[in-house]
Amino acid sequence: MHFCKIYVAPEAPDAPSRGRKPSPQFLFDARDEFGLDLAGSYMIGDRLVDLECGWNAGLRRCLLVRTGYGAEVERASSGKLTAAVVVDDLTAAANWILAAKTPP
């Protein structure tokens, strides 16, 4: 595995930005540049804005990890997480995705 490109929004968090989350613009750019299937893709993050970015892009599923800011986000925003999968950490997220992609 290798990285093809890294997208960065250098603007300050409160400044107007084309790509800063929850805007899905960088995901759309990656779709257009690399032929990504967004409807079959996943977003993993530890903040609500990460999940909102994935939802705004029409991703297959968004996963919140409880590491980093995730546990606090889960406590403070549980009503907003009904469409999300909440897992303990990145390993659990990867395992969830692999299990979801495995035919029964």
Torsions phi, psi for 62 (to 5 deg) = -120, 135
Domain contains 1:
no
Cα separation, 71 vs 2, in Å, equals 30
Structural domain span for residue 86: 41-101
Domain contains 23:
no
Domain contains 82:
yes
Domain contains 60:
yes
Give Rg (Cα) of the chain.
14
Domain contains 61:
yes
Look-up of token digits 């970015």: 53
Specify whether the CB–CB gap between 74 and 47 falls below 8 A: no
pTM of the model: 0.91
Q: How many domains does the chain divide into?
A: 1
For every one of its 104 residues, what pLDDT tens digit does the chain have, with 9 covering 90 and above?
A: 788 999 999 999 889 999 999 999 999 999 999 999 999 999 999 999 999 999 999 999 999 999 999 999 999 998 999 999 999 999 999 999 999 977 66
Domain contains 2:
no
Domain contains 78:
yes
